[in-house]
Homo-oligomer: A and B are copies of this chain.
Amino acid sequence: MLDRVRALGFDVFGTCVDWRSGVSRAAAAFLRQIGGPDISPEALADAWRGRYQPAMEACRSGRRPYTRLSMLNRELLEEVLHELGLDPSAMPVGALDELNLAWERLDPWQDVVAGLSRLKRRFIIVPLSNANFAMSLNMARRAGLPWDAIMGAELTHAYKPQAHAYLGTADLLGLAPAELGLVAAHNADLAAARHFGLATLFVPRPGEHGPHKAADVTPAQEWDLIAPDFNGLADALGC
């Protein structure tokens, strides 16, 4: 299966970058700014991320047209603040907008930049993320992610695990589905990619949800490749 692969598409949130630490860091600064309510920054980050799939589902189901993740996140932030007993309408809009930018100011796991740089020698490497175009681009410039191109939901107007998120990406690359591999830390994403004919590469990220991560610690299927991190991917693929 991997012999045909010419491009690797990477899940980003959790697979390439540590969203929980980054969002918690920004949340801590925000909570200080608004007067220090007794709320843990990690709880805010987790609650925010918890609303991510339902928000995208509104677009997937057709109840709502494709909407950029940055805009969904901005809406979800107000919901989360309400849930935590805070009133976003009493807060400076600029502070909310600034906190929303946390999603493009995330740090990569320590192996990512080196691993991607090695993989790029042999493969086209792109984000295959639900992030919108500018979010992925700004994140890449800040974090030094050496993508060949920015791809993902905004180019296909489809959110994973919709078919077109995977197949539309292969089509833009001028490749057959089997010539594109998905690298992800999430079994459900890989299962969809396999269903639509892509190659599948699993890299577990045990720290994604903090110390108590329960899901995706082990592969749920015999993925085409399983590696401990991106340097391990590069080793296995001869890069």
Report A's interface with B, CB cutoff 8 A: 70, 124, 133-134, 137-138, 140-141, 147-150, 154-155, 172-175
**Residues in B neighbouring A124, C-beta threshold 8 A:** 137, 141
In the complex, which of the residues B134, B138, B140, B150 contacts A150, with contact meaning CB atoms closer than 8 Å?
B150
> Chain B residues with Cβ under 8 A from A175's Cβ?
134
Is there an interface contact between B155 and A148, defined as CB atoms closer than 8 Å? no
Main secondary structure of the interface of A (DSSP, over half): helix
Contact B141 A137 (CB under 8 A): no
Residues of B within 8 A of A140 (CB): 148
Residue of B nearest to A140 (CB): B148
**12 further interface pairs, Cβ-Cβ under 8 Å (given A124-B137, A137-B149):** A133-B149, A133-B174, A134-B172, A134-B174, A134-B175, A137-B173, A138-B174, A141-B148, A148-B150, A149-B150, A154-B172, A155-B155
Q: Which residue of B lies closest to A146 (CB)?
A: B146
A156 to chain B, nearest CB (A): 11
Select from chain B the residue with minimum beta-carbon distance to A150: B149
Inter-chain CA distance A172–B149, complex, in Å, is 14
A83 CB to nearest B CB, Å: 28
